[in-house]
Chain A
Amino acid sequence: MKEIEKSIETCVSLVELEKIRVSLFGKKGYFAAQFNELKTLEGEAKKEFAQNLNTNKEHFLEILNQKKLFLEAAMIQEEMQKSRVDVTLFNQESSAGALHPVMETMDKIIEYFISMNFSIEEGPLVEDDFHNFEALNLPKHHPARDMQDTFYFNDAMLLRTHTSPVQIRTMLSQQAPVRMICPGAVFRRDYDITHTPMFHQVEGLVVDKTGKVSFANLKFILEDFLKYMFGDVKVRFRPSFFPFTEPSAEVDISCIFCHGEGCRVCSHTGWLEVLGCGVVDPNVFKAVGYKDVSGYAFGLGVERFAMLLHQVPDLRSLFEGDLRLLEQFR
């Protein structure tokens, strides 16, 4: 028996262990034979023999079971070990794509205004003179039209030079109060290092009964918005001119690169120009037939924001589909 006990101990496979089990507990195994022998005995001898036999049997069942559990665990270990990997071989290059920085910036801008309860409005890229100029207090031959070099079609339609025509479309189809933004592509006939013939704007318009919306409200929302976009920056308003707003202002933020100290990006002024805005000119309301209202409007260039936020130096690179740039935004 000692030998068998030893063979269980040294056994290394479940198959071998099963053989030993059969040799002990099988129909023709050791214990079957022993129990047969029991029949030949009588009285005390039988009782003693039976007791021994049962103790033995339990002993072997126990060590067999123990060994089995041990071997099973060892096998799982072995299996796991076989499929061991060098985790450092992991390819760190992601196979995911990425959103375009301009579109992603546009999303971020839109999310802000949605959270401030603005509606989104859209309009066509091909516009007519009325919506793009005339209704926005830019009558024909107005010198301010020079500010926006326009793409025209042979039938006198044009590619919108700003998202402002959507203001007109919205006011012509809805009654005040209006509280909207219009994101989208716009076009100017200009192509150099700092201009592309197509770029994106987000336009905002708030209109309510006379006296309800003031310049102070415009200041509030733009200061809050610019802090949402750029963090803790200083915001400065400079009077300016847009035909469709009066008073008008341009909005600067303290340079996010040099914190106002002066650097190349801000042309050593410490300020970055990011927005145009103003109180809606009464001629615009006249053009859409709104009466007894006041309002403010603002507009911003999305590429400008994206370039500042993502520190992309070259505007034109944004339109080239170059993966060397795009995959940095994964």
Chain B
Amino acid sequence: MIVTKQWLNEWIDINAIDTDKISIALNAIGLEVDGIHKIRIPQKVVVGHVLSCEKHPNADKLNVCQVNVGESVQQIVCGAKNVAAGQMVAVALIGAELPGGLKIKKAKLRDVESCGMLCSSTELGLPKINDGIMILDDSIGTLSIGKELCEYPLMNDDIIDIGLTPNRGDCQSVYGIARDLSVAFDLEVKVLHQKEEEENQPGVGRVLNLTGSEALDGSYMYKVFDNKEIKTPLLIDLRLGFAEISINCPLGKIVEYSTYVTGVLLRAYDHGCFSAGGDKAKIIINKDENDLDAIFAEGKKVGICGVSQEETCRANTLNTRIIVEANYTHPDIIAVKSANKKLACDKHLYRSSRGSEPHLSFGLNYFFKMLSKYSSVMIYADSQQIMHDYEEKAINVHQSDLTAMIGEEIAKNQVIKILKKLGFGVNFAFEQDVMNIKIPQFRHDVLNMQDICEEIVRIVGIDNITAKPYVFAEKRKTNKAYQDFKKRQMYRHKAVAIGFFETLHFVFDDKQISQKFALPTLSENLELANPITNDFNTLRSSMIPNMLRAVSQNIKFGRKKVALFEVGSVFDAKRNERKKIGFIFSGENALPEVSNHGKPIEIDFFAFAQKIQSVIGQFTLLPLTSTNGLTSPYEAALVLIDGVEAGYIARVNIQIEKEFDLARTYICELDFATLLFEQKVAKEYSKFPSTSRDISLMVPQTMQYATLEKFIQTIAPKELVKFSAIDLFAHENFGENISLTLKLQFQSNEKTLEEEDVNNALISILSSIKEQFGITIR
């Protein structure tokens, strides 16, 4: 909602108050100021009178004007089409500097001297109001030739842009904002004065017949006038420009201007639409097929109250007789009945569904005041109306209720004063110590005691309420969500220490791409109905595609090593949400530095798995046969944490590496719930030294290490405390076999093992292996 200081000043006397103070007050009472724009016409731009206007001898499109600028008459060449003798215009004199930076100098235009410039509104920093130069009139103040325009306050206005919250329908007008602001500054709102209707005017009953069904939701008031000539003054054009409203029809401008000022919904209809050539128009208001109040002419629907108006019946300046309607319907009715109907609507719906001004005669009177001030019209006396009864709501409030909500006592007489100024009726019953508060019709948003409390708080000012700590009973708050938070924090910190960067991606993905990667996607009936773009048209079932794109971007920027991780939500085909942790590592295993001679080796499966293990703790890997389309089937493993399937570790399918321009890349995605977050329990440990032996076995190339590993675990003598594979060595002489080196560690809880004990244990292991698999030492 855009207002200006001078515009507000028509309703409350705020001329003397600094605009910044007005802004602070508006903010303080809950009308947020989004911006202030001060318009200042530069000096040496004066009111001029065009004495004559003749064609330029050497240019078709130029005119040579003699312009009285007060102290002298200046010759000015002007290119505007609308310039004519007799006009009052804005003249930038020699030496003036216009907002665009243009400096006015004496000039020759095609051999004709020009001493100044006739200005358009935009050249002076004002909104665009017409094509060509701006024609001045008395609406901006009495014009006196030669007077500088910067001395006309109505032109040098401060524009205030207010961001209205949707509950404040009552502030959708200049008047409404003035009414609210009047309370902050303790000012009186001015009353609209209107002329008494003359006795000899014909009554509206001669030209209008209004009927309506009984079930109507809204209230309606109609007046009629005969049109001779309708004109709008400069001030209305300027202010509609300030408010960023663009209308061409002068009648439309006055209608819109009156609605904008008063908040009353106004429409103008062509009388002829309703009269079928006769003198008397018949307006019928009935329910339409959507149960909304509609206006009918000759059996045809020509408008829906608060929603739309048929273009064919909208009045324009050519119509000789014009009907003006003011209407009001409770916003909740409009909002509910018009929702989801996909009705064609105009600007009225925005106002009507948030609450327009119910004081209909106020809007009509203002309209006719503006109309008759600048136009030549004959207004019929009286009005015709259908009024919906307003049931006045009242709320009983004890002062102690307010004190409990606010946490501080606001004096009773202050409360009453604030409410009265805001337009509420207040009766105070001394015996019961209760305030009976009557809610005005324009405050449909006030329904209960809390709303009343809000009115008090916003006028008193929240900053004026003392902050007090809340006193509460002690209660332990370490619930599951807290544990999850600590667990997430621990794993995230570990990942960072190992060299992974945390990323954050939208939980959206491109469905086509998900399907291409053979990832689960939402079934159609659960799919997003209104995605924002195709890239985000479904929920992700894996974090990896987003992370792959991030890696790809980083590699494009010249990175040789990219390590990322993310903890977030993914969704399965049934749209069940799960928390996952994803890791991705691409390119070089380390940074180039002196210790690796500037040539760090590329990441490989085992180095990657080792990094993952450093983050999430111990796990076992099993070969994974079926995976999604993201992975290479030859370097993919199922991750088991404590025997539970947690996710996978794999190399990215080389096809995808190529598509994304990736270096060698490994990924890991795990169910976050499977990661452990438990106390570690200390086991008994040996106090005696351990001995280790490396042995190389000739194993078949096809044999999985896990088979051998499991077997050794089952037959291991108690002295074998640990073993692991440390080397693989292939040679052409080995045939179908490969040399696998194991490191075995022996230790006893009872004694220091002798050479002989170790040898016996080793021999027993080797002979079992030989017996089971026929595998021998190399």
Contacts and interface: CB of A to CB of B under 8 A. Distances in A.
A117 B479 CA distance: 12
B557 A221 contact: no
Interface of A is mostly: mixed
Nearest to B408: A216
A326 B499 CA distance: 12
Contacts of B492: 99, 103
Contacts of B648: none
Nearest to A140: B339
Interface in A203-245: 206, 208, 210-217, 219-221, 223, 236-241, 243
Interface in B496-532: 496-508, 524-532
A143 B702 CA distance: 69
Contact of A214 (B404, B525, B536, B539): B404
A151 B481 contact: no
B475 A191 contact: no
A146 interface: yes
Given A95-B591, A322-B550, A323-B554, A103 B507 contact: no
A241 B168 contact: yes
A198 B535 CA distance: 14
Contacts of A153: 526-529, 575
A202 B539 CA distance: 22
B212 interface: no
A327 B563 CA distance: 11
Interface residues of B, number: 101
Interface stretch (B296-304, B456-464, B744-752): B456-464
Nearest to B334: A141
Interface stretch (B27-35, B649-657, B761-769): B27-35
B533 A96 contact: no
Contact of B407 (A118, A217, A238, A240): A217
B448 A282 contact: yes
B680 interface: no
Interface stretch (A1-9, A47-55, A66-74, A120-128): A120-128
A142 interface: yes
A124 B577 contact: yes
Interface stretch (A11-19, A20-28, A56-64, A313-321): A313-321
Contacts of A91: 591, 593-594
B162 to A, nearest CB: 12
A110 B485 CA distance: 9
A213 B470 contact: yes
Contacts of A216: 406-408, 465-468
A75 interface: no
A69 B315 CA distance: 116
A42 interface: no
A191 B537 CA distance: 14
Contact of B505 (A146, A212, A236, A319): A319
A238 B462 contact: yes
A32 interface: no
A324 B502 contact: no
A309 interface: no
Nearest to B400: A211
Given A122-B481, A250-B32, A281-B450, A151 B528 contact: yes
B499 A239 contact: no
Contacts of A323: 501, 554, 557, 559, 562
A114 B473 CA distance: 15
A248 interface: yes
Contact of B482 (A96, A107, A119): A119
Contacts of A291: none
Contacts of B346: none
A126 to B, nearest CB: 6
Interface string B379-408: 000000000000000000000000011111
Nearest to B548: A321
Given A96-B496, A214-B407, A323-B554, 17 more contacts: A98-B501, A103-B502, A143-B335, A153-B527, A153-B528, A153-B529, A154-B525, A154-B529, A197-B532, A213-B470, A238-B32, A239-B29, A239-B458, A246-B448, A282-B450, A321-B564, A324-B557
27 contacts: A95-B591, A97-B500, A99-B502, A110-B485, A141-B338, A141-B339, A152-B528, A153-B528, A153-B575, A196-B506, A214-B405, A215-B457, A216-B466, A217-B468, A219-B462, A220-B469, A220-B470, A238-B27, A241-B165, A247-B453, A247-B454, A250-B32, A267-B35, A318-B504, A321-B501, A321-B547, A322-B550
The 7 closest A-B pairs by CB, nearest first: A216-B407, A321-B550, A214-B407, A239-B30, A241-B165, A239-B458, A237-B462
